[in-house]
Amino acid sequence: METKNGNQSKINPENKSIKITIILPTHAYFLSGIRDFTLNLIKNMTDFSEQWAYRFQSVVDELCNNAIEHGSDPGEEIIISFNTNPHESIEINVEDTGTAKIHLKASEINAIVEERRSTAYTNKGIRGRGLSKIVAEWSDELEFIDVPANGGIRVRVKKYLNDPKFKETLPSHDPTHLILN
Amino acid sequence: MTQINITIEDIAVAEGTKIAKLVKFQGQLDESNVDEKAKLIYAIIEQNAANLFLLMDFEELEYMNSKSIGYLTDWYGKISEGNGKIVITKAKNNILDILEVVGLTQLISCYPTLDEAKFALLSK
């Protein structure tokens, strides 16, 4: 199959899956670098469009923010991994150390996200849109997994390149996205 | 801290009861800076409780996270309560995309040019 981007052919001529893992200190200071990395990785190493590269930039940022704020204490770290399957999909995992003072289980986070995705839910606050709106909308698979080894949470997000829900255009207007004050 | 610059200037209006301001964003709004920078807008809202009209120029805004969108929603609520209005102009495609996915474009209109945005802002 002819690749969309010549970089893919040079770096990965056998079209194997590529996994990149990054460990960051628990500090928002480093997130602009991760956003830049994500944008360039998706643009140059996958067949996803530029629009989707920007979307994954947001997805990664939101997942990392969540891990920093709710998962790993200051002085600890978060682990971000990118797994690209050429011409097929991208999977992103973000894991925390479970050391935050108030730490939820995967099932509890899942319940919160599902509640906030519901049409009956009205978000009147400043927080709470990252996972339920941005991450959930821009992924085909979203999973919260307890990490038994350290009590942390790993969030797994996957997006397929050739998926019926894959759209090049902006999201259509959808009542579930209405914010009512 | 990620770089973000916010400049605020008055917009001349014929109607004396309206307070109109152009708020220009340059850079990126993320977790490292948004709480601090949001205070600038809250200060304007507090100083002008009624009839405040804000034109947000996003031409040089490269990124905004979900918390900054939350602040934008809160500003919209407060300004609307005071019979004011917020509009956005010249947002980049990736910014429009984020605003669409969270549904904010159903509350705050986005215009491609400054003139269109000014007209929409002040013709309430």
**B27-80 residue pLDDT tens:** 999 999 999 999 999 999 999 989 999 999 999 999 999 999 999 999 999 999
Amino acid at A63: L
* Residue A14 exposed, middle or buried by CB count within 10 Å (0-12, 13-18, 19+): exposed
For chain B, the first-to-last Cα distance in angstroms comes to 38
Q: Tell me the pairing of strands B85-89 and B110-111.
A: parallel
Query: Domain map of chain B by residue range?
Result: 4-110
Q: Among B28, B31, B103, select the one facing A65 at the smallest CB separation.
A: B31
Of B63, B70, B93, the CB nearest to A127: B70
Return the CATH number of the domain spanning residue range B4-110.
3.30.750.24
- Residue A179 to residue B70, Cβ atoms within 8 A: no
Q: What tokens were used for B79?
A: 């300004």
Q: Hey, of B33, B41, B62, B102, which one would you mutate to test binding to chain A, going by the most A CBs within 10 A of its CB?
A: B102
Beta strands in chain A (DSSP E): 18-25, 77-85, 89-95, 141-147, 152-160
A86-to-A48, A49, A57, B48, B112 alpha-carbon distances in Å? 10, 13, 18, 54, 36
Whether the CB of B123 is below 8 Å from some CB of chain A: the reply is: no
| ipTM of this predicted structure | 0.93
H-run or E-run covering B33: none
Whole-number Å distance between alpha carbons of A37 and A43: 10
Show residues of chain A in contact with B104, CB under 8 Å. 179
Decide if A52 contacts A159 (C-beta within 8 A): yes
Question: pLDDT tens digit string along A52-73?
Answer: 999 999 999 999 999 988 888 8
At position B2, the amino acid (one-letter code) is T
What are B20's strand-pairing partners?
B11, B53
d(CA B87, CA B75): 11
What global pTM score does this model have? 0.87
Does A58 contact B65 at a Cβ distance shorter than 8 Å?
Answer: yes
Asked if B102 is an interface residue toward chain A (Cβ–Cβ < 8 A), one would say yes
Which helix (DSSP H) or strand (DSSP E) does residue A130 occupy? none
CA distance A133 to chain B (A): 6
Q: How far is B22 from B19, CA to CA, in rounded Å? A: 10
Which of A56, A129, A138, A167 would you mutate first to test chain B, the one with the most B CBs within 10 A? A129
B93 and A177: CB-CB below 8 Å? no
Residue A49 pLDDT: 94
Residue found by looking up tokens 């007209």 in the block: B119
CA B110 – CA B86 distance, rounded (Å):
10
- Show the CA angle centred on residue B96, arms to residues A155 and A87, nearest 5°: 50
Quickly tell me which residue has 């809160």 as its tokens.
B74
Per-residue 3-state assignment (H helix, E strand, C coil) for A80-103? EEEEEECCCEEEEEEECCCCCCCC
d(CA A130, CA B70): 10
Interface touch B65/A128, C-beta < 8 Å:
no
Per CB-CB distance under 8 Å, the chain B contacts of A177 are 100-103, 106
Q: What percent of chain A has pLDDT over 70?
A: 78
A72-122 pLDDT, tens digit each: 888 889 999 999 987 899 999 999 988 877 777 888 888 888 887 776 666
Chain A hits for B28, CB-CB cut-off 8 Å, are 32, 35
User: Closest Cα of chain B to A13: distance in Å?
Assistant: 31
Q: Do the Cβ atoms of A144 and A155 come closer than 8 Å? A: yes
Domains of chain A by start residue, with CATH:
19-167 (3.30.565.10)
Beta strands in A117-178 (DSSP E): 141-147, 152-160
Written as six digits, the tokens of A132 are: 């339920």
Predicted local confidence at residue A133, as pLDDT: 84
